[in-house]
Amino acid sequence: MASLRNAVVCVFRRDLKVAMRRITDVLTPVIFFAIVTSLFPLGVGPEPNMLQALAPGVLWVAALLATMLSLNRMFANDYADGTLEQLLLAPHPLSILVLAKVAAHWLLSGLPLVLLSPVLAIQLQLPHEAMTTLVLSLLLGTPVLSLLGAVGAALTLGLRGGGVLVSALVLPLYTPVLIFGAAAVAGAATGLDVEAHLSLLGAFLVLALSFVPWAASAALRVSLD
């Protein structure tokens, strides 16, 4: 157990260090998220009621697209330098090591979106009562996006045009998360009970944590054969 714990920590820390050396790759999803949500009021007009009605969908769609920008890099660098082959040969469950890589990806690309979302929601006239629900929904939903994206990234590893293929593969899987995440924020903005929506997002997260690491590790073995 101590050896497995050390391996997980090493994979997690390595991904963070490699990402920090390419800080532009880390900032790209965050900047994209900020630009999309900031330009949207200019495109539809400053009418508060319209912005408030559109805010949940805009914020969630922008977060989803921003997450997709970084999916192709989840395993690509390790594949290029041979690190991924060493992970497959390591005497540890590959699914656990994949989970560590997904956690690093979420910390770099998902958590910044969660922290930035309340600031961007203000300019979309989202009511303060819905801010907590927005943060909670993104905290539950963005890890699911990273987990599901890991499967798509593993399946398209090493393929030409992999970024487009990843988007085509994971977008249908992202749709339920988008629907319930945006519905939770919209319900909170209108004073409705959002416990059911948040519970479903939590269920999605539990299911993804249970099955995605295994599926992604199997896809990686197929891609490297």
3-state helix, strand, coil in the chain (%, to 5): 85, 0, 15
| Global pTM value | 0.91
| pLDDT for res 42 | 84
| pLDDT number for residue 161 | 60
On whether the CB atoms of residues 146 and 64 are closer than 8 A, the answer is no
pLDDT of residue 2: 52
The residues near 220 (Cβ < 8 Å, ≥ 6 apart) are: 75, 84, 88, 94, 98, 154, 157
Three-state SS at 19: helix
Give residue 59's pLDDT.
Answer: 94
DSSP calls for 39-88 = HHHHHH-S-HHHHHHHHHHHHHHHHHHHHHHTTTHHHHHHHHHTHHHHHH
Q: Is the separation of the CB atoms in 92 and 4 below 8 Å?
A: yes
Residue pair 3/92 in contact by the 8 Å Cβ criterion:
yes
- The pLDDT tens digits for 41-91 are 888 877 888 888 889 999 999 999 999 888 888 887 788 777 788 888 878
- Residue 9, number of CB atoms within 10 A of its CB: 11
SS3 135: helix
How confident is the model at residue 62, as a pLDDT?
Answer: 94
Amino acid 177: pLDDT: 95
What pLDDT shows up at residue 33?
94
Q: Which domain holds residue 151?
A: 2-224
Number of domains present in the structure of the chain: 1
Per-residue pLDDT of the chain (225 residues; tens, 9 = 90+): 558 888 888 889 988 888 888 888 888 999 999 999 988 888 887 788 888 888 999 999 999 999 988 888 888 778 877 778 888 887 888 889 899 999 999 999 999 999 999 999 998 889 888 999 999 999 999 999 999 999 988 888 877 666 678 888 888 999 999 999 999 999 998 888 899 999 999 999 999 999 999 998 888 888 777
